[in-house]
Amino acid sequence: MTKKKPAGVYHHGDLRNALVQAAGALAVRGGPGAVTVRAAAREAGVTPTAAYRHFTNQEALLRAAQQQAQHTLFTVMSAEVDADAPAIERLRAAGRGYITFALREPGLFRTAFCAPANTGALAGDEPAFTLLSTLLDELVETGYTAPEDRPDAEIAAWSAVHGVAALLLDGVFSWMQRDAAIEAVVGVVARGLATGPAAH
């Protein structure tokens, strides 16, 4: 008599992708610290030996989970952006989407920016970062931001939005203050970029 495999056990197809999906599920529940090769193997229903053929260590799997989390962040940010709105309103919306993602998926948010998988720095080609850069370029093209204020504007805008997201996750602000804190930060970023003739 043939024994049935337990429900949910991986048995065919793309094992690497199944492990990445498992790593993403682990990140949702426990952040980057929960993402290990053995845990992903358990989640996918395979042996650790099979998993190690695709990811030789925890760092490699965490990097894959991080890339997946970055893509999810981009998807959430993009969903908030109205393509027909002025560039500055699209930038505000993208910032709100960034914070929404952090509050909705704290485990994925922390995984998206965890240092072990990226040695403390992003590559600069992550889709969310590219979206931010594109919106900042459009602010210059439409005259909202002066060209001389464009260099490294990503650092200031990103740091402000990421900072308030982290503070909200850490409970520094009460939930009653949440919306006010979000609007204050995206507003300050918008006003700080208003150095071009069209901004007035």
- Model confidence pLDDT, tens digit, residues 3-37: 444 444 445 468 999 999 999 999 999 999 999 99
Digit-coded pLDDT (tens) for 156-180: 999 999 999 999 999 888 877 889 9
What per-residue confidence (pLDDT) applies to 114?
87
Among the listed residues 23, 21, 27, 15, the one whose alpha carbon sits nearest the alpha carbon of residue 53: 15
What per-residue confidence (pLDDT) applies to 9?
47
61 vs 75: CA distance, rounded Å: 21
- In words, the CATH class of domain 66-199 is mainly alpha
Q: What angle do CA 175, 181, 184 make, to 5 degrees?
A: 160
Among the listed residues 128, 123, 66, the one whose alpha carbon sits nearest the alpha carbon of residue 97: 128
For 88-115, the DSSP string reads HHHHHHHHHHHHHHHHH-HHHHHHHT-S
